[in-house]
């Protein structure tokens, strides 16, 4: 994603990927937001084995690049063909193990 906004100063680039942090922390800042966007993007990328890259110049804007690995997803363990259309797919433990019945007296 590339924008032509206010940009982020070099020393702030590492900070802005932390939750609730913005480049301008004062109450007089000119832009709204909770400071979660880049933190969420970074977290999702890392959960998928990827990373993000930030490039910015104050007064010129920011470019955020998300890198995700390319590969084949692991196959589901003993998936039931009847579950083929379900999203999200059932957890493998629930597919391969019967649910025990309990009787309360």
What residue has token string 């913005």?
22
Residue range of the domain that includes 60: 10-67
Predicted confidence (pLDDT) per residue in 44-82, tens digit: 999 989 999 999 999 999 999 999 988 765 555 555 666
Query: What is the predicted pLDDT for the residue at 82?
Result: 61
The total number of structural domains in the chain stands at: 1
- Radius of gyration in angstroms for the set of CA atoms belonging to the chain, rounded to a whole number: 22
Is position 49 within any domain?
Answer: yes
pLDDT at 91 over 90: no
Predicted confidence (pLDDT) per residue in 16-37, tens digit: 888 887 876 554 456 667 778 8
Is position 44 within any domain?
Answer: yes
Is position 76 within any domain?
Answer: no
Is position 103 within any domain?
Answer: no
**Angstrom distance (rounded) from CA 61 to CA 87:** 38
CATH number at residue 37: 3.30.565.10
First vs last Cα of the chain: how many Å apart?
A: 60
Q: Could you give the angle at the alpha carbon of 32 between the alpha carbons of 29 and 36, nearest 5°?
A: 110
| Mean pLDDT estimate for the chain | 76
Is position 96 within any domain?
Answer: no
């Amino acid at each position: 994603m590339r924008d032509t906004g206010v940009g982020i100063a070099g020393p702030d680039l590492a900070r802005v990927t932390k939750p609730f942090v913005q480049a301008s922390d004062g109450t007089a800042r000119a832009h709204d937001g909770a400071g979660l966007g880049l933190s969420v993007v970074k977290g999702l990328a890392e959960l998928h084995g990827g990373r993000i890259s930030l490039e910015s110049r104050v007064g010129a804007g920011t470019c955020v690049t998300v890198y995700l690995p390319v590969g084949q997803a692991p196959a589901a363990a003993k998936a039931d063909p009847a579950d083929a259309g379900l999203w999200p797919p059932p957890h493998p433990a629930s597919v391969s193990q019967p649910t025990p019945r309990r009787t309360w007296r």
